[in-house]
Structure 1
Amino acid sequence: MKYETENIITETITEVAKKTLTQLSLHTIENANGTKLIVSNLGAAVVSLFVKDKQDKLTDVVLGYDTHSDYQADEFYLGTVVGRYANRVAGGTVVLDNTTYTLHLREGGYHLHGGLEGFNKKIFQAISFEQEGKSGIIFKYISPHLEEGFPGELQLEVIYTLDDEDVWSIEYKAVCNKTTLINLTQHTYFNLSGNPSNTIDDHQIKILSNYYLPVNKLQVPTGEIAAVHNTPFDFSQPKKIGEDLLKDNEQLQLSNGYDHSFVLEKQHTPILKHAVVVKEPASGITMDVYTTEPAVHFYTGNFLQNIKGKNGIIYHKRSGFCLETQHFPDAPNHRHFPSTVLNAGEEFYSKTVFKFSVD
């Protein structure tokens, strides 16, 4: 295993630290097969992920930017950790321990992805480690009481590990001194062809789920847990991402494509579950996703438009897809959804695994 780091001096975008210089860094982890993960401590962003294709050629399978300033300006959460609450919470008002808290709201009256400046814009402390057959980085951040409206000081660790079996694992650990909400995810956009000038329409995907969460016009779950059978949301058998995208379906029209959570379990357990299999026929690269989370949010990059990415490539609609393992969106407003409440002093733990192979 090999680990490298590069320091870069730039400006933060936080209002408090605006115009002050802060050290940012890039970190590279490489395994015995040459698989390489390049990440930034700004938002714990995955900048590049090189895996071998069927021609034994290293291929970068994620979307990203060339500079830290691009990540500072990013509005699409490319490659970053999202929190304190990933996805949407309608209304923005939550009651915890008999106290009402108001979260940051977007136009339309919903909270999204941690607020105006969520974890995707935070500078993490990065600590490297090496063990037999694997190495990684521990990212640490302390989120203060009432940051973006969330109660309590939250101590967060995000651990990226790459092993010699071409497995990239993500572990989240957190503890808070007040009862709070937490829903964390990783927002990497994948294109397993290695060329995001191509859409992801021909990727074959299987989602091990029989249910999904329909949404309203704000893309907030209605509360219904709907069967995927006989709908464009049925990925119980492998099919092309683009196969049903143009079908006359209200849910696809509301979201401009797939932007929905698929239910892996209605009652949350800590078991690591096989969630998704994706294969890109041209490259031969297969990605298997496992998670302890009760849902995976499948997003097909519907709102990417004319985004300048790495190496001068322009990202457009469906240049990449996200598989955001998480709890259900808007869970605080639906008692039958698995709870996203983290009690004071309790430890939050979650794990997601991306395993790469070639056929």
Structure 2
Amino acid sequence: MTVISLSSDHLQVGVAAYGARLVSVRTADREGRPGEVVVGTDDEAGWRVNTAFFGATIGRYANRIAGGAFTLDGAEYRVPVNEGRNALHGGQVGFDRQVWEASPVTDREDGQSVTFSLVSPDGDMGFPGTLTVAVRYTVHGSDLAVTVVATTDAPTVVNLTNHAYFSLAGRPAPVADQLLQVFASGYLPTDEEFLPTVGVAPVDGTPFDFRTPTAIGARWRDDDEQLRIGKGYDHCFVLDGARTPGHPQRAVRLADPASGRVMELWTDQPGVQVYTGNQLDGTQADRTGLVRQGDAICLEPQHFPDAPNRPDFPSTVLRPGEEYGHLSLYRFSTDAR
């Protein structure tokens, strides 16, 4: 199983059918020197042993489902638990562990595209309905677009995302000094099991206020109960403004002052999980060596964790005749010094 290359005048991107994963993104710094900004490996053996979801498509349900159970239309469904008593990222064998079918690469004006397809049968990891999913990666100019569509033949729940780890300084380089801006006035506090508790809390006056560009590591060691629970940031930020499928809005800006690289994430999803790799303990390796906490950051556009059990959250139910849609753009540029 090989890496599929997509390129434009500004980006070189690698993707793979195992987990429909984003393997590599190379983009230039302010001096025009290309560098790797995504944590990953270039071989199937590395993808199969990795348990940190490097670059993978996550499903059927990204993030956590409390107790590995939910009720839909009066019937209870159980997902095999794989994080304590809860189901994380779709259960024990999620979409990240599947070999997807890859289409031929399509040439576009100033870019290329490839689509990965998967049919998840009824009862897969306990989820109801046969879910048909397509993930398209498109490189166009300075943009990497990830488009996801899914349909079902029976009512089910769906929450898909990409789990790429970024470091704009180029790998290997910690992200503590990189500047993060999240266009979110609220976030979801969690309990000790990383499950949402009180609903949306304001970021104002907390270490979670990234409404203006702030170094990622500036406050991650603050005396804050939420940071203690997460061992850093591992929280869903509730994005400002209404989100309409197919119409992404700016959600995150990440910038590295040293290299000048900038990445903006635009998405049509209501939330972004910000995760600073807090569980990376040097037992996972990428192409440059062992990866540890703070070496990279995940910015995962998605619906809210445990939404199937939280009627106060936006619904993640998908019914026959409907289409799940998710569009996220990763837009790369550089800042002058």
Shorter-chain TM-score: which interval? over 0.9
CA 161–107 in structure 1, closer or farther in 2 if over 3 Å, else same: closer
C-alpha change, 1:64 and 1:177, in structure 2 (3 Å) is same
Contact 1:265–1:295 (8 Å) recurs in 2 = no
Separation in structure 1 between the aligned mates of residue 330 and residue 211 of structure 2, nearest angstrom: 19
Query: Is the Cα–Cα contact under 8 Å of residues 223 and 334 in structure 1 kept in the other structure?
Result: no
How many residue pairs were aligned? 333
Q: 1:101 aligns with which of 68, 77, 82?
A: 77
Sequence identity (%) = 37
SS in 1 for 2:166: coil
**How many Å apart are 1:305 and its aligned residue?**
1.4
State the partner residue of 2:138: 161
What amino acid is the match of 1:154? L
CA contact (8 A) 2:147 2:328 kept: yes
Task: Write the distance in 2 (CA, Å) between the matches of 1:315 and 1:87.
Answer: 21
Alpha-carbon distance between aligned partners in 1 of 2:2 and 2:320, rounded to the nearest angstrom: 32
Residues 319-330 of structure 1: pairs in structure 2 closer than 5 A: 319-330=295-306
Q: Secondary structure at the match of 2:259?
A: coil
What is aligned with 1:332? 308
Report the Cα distance in structure 2 between the residues aligned to 1:137 and 1:63, rounded to whole angstroms: 21
Instruction: Confirm whether residue 199 of structure 1 aligns to residue 174 of structure 2.
Output: yes
- Give the Cα–Cα distance (whole angstroms) in 1 for the partners of residues 73 and 284 of structure 2: 45
In structure 1, distance between residues paired with 2:215 and 2:179: 4
Matched residue type, 2:115:
I
Match of 1:146 among 123, 130, 133: 123
Question: Which one-letter code corresponds to 1:130 in the other structure?
Answer: D
**Given the alignment, which residue of 19, 33, 36 partners 1:43?**
19
Q: Which moved more, 1:128-137 or 1:317-326?
A: 128-137
Partners of 2:272 and 2:139 in 1: CA distance:
21
Q: 1:184 aligns with which of 143, 152, 160?
A: 160
**Where in structure 2 are the equivalents of 1:1-359 lying within 5 Å?**
24-33=1-10, 35-127=11-103, 128-164=105-141, 166-196=142-172, 198-265=173-240, 269-270=244-245, 271-359=247-335
CA positional deviation for 1:311: 3.7
- In structure 1, list runs of 5 or more residues that go unmatched: 1-23
TM-superposed deviation, 1:310: 3.7
Distance 1:84 1:191, change over 3 A: same
Structure 2 counterpart of 1:140, which letter? Answer: S
Q: Secondary structure at the match of 1:222?
A: coil
Of structures 1 and 2, the one scoring higher in RCO (CA 8 A, sep 6+) is 2
Unaligned runs of at least 5 residues, structure 2: none
1:308 Cα deviation from its structure 2 partner: 5.0
CA positional deviation for 1:107? 4.8
Question: Is the 1:30–1:37 Cα contact (8 Å) retained in structure 2?
Answer: yes
Letter in 2 for 1:30: S
Alpha-carbon distance, 1:314 to partner: 1.7
Kept in 2, the 8 Å contact 1:268–1:338? The answer is no
User: What is the CA-CA distance between 1:25 and the residue it aligns to?
Assistant: 3.0
Q: What letter corresponds to residue 331 of structure 2 in structure 1?
A: K
Quote how far apart the aligned CAs of 1:131 are: 2.2
> RMSD value over aligned CA atoms?
1.3
Q: Tell me whether 38-47 or 305-314 shows the greater mean CA deviation.
A: 305-314
Query: What TM-score do you get using the length of structure 2 for normalisation?
Result: 0.96
Q: Give the TM-score of the pair, scaled to structure 1.
A: 0.90
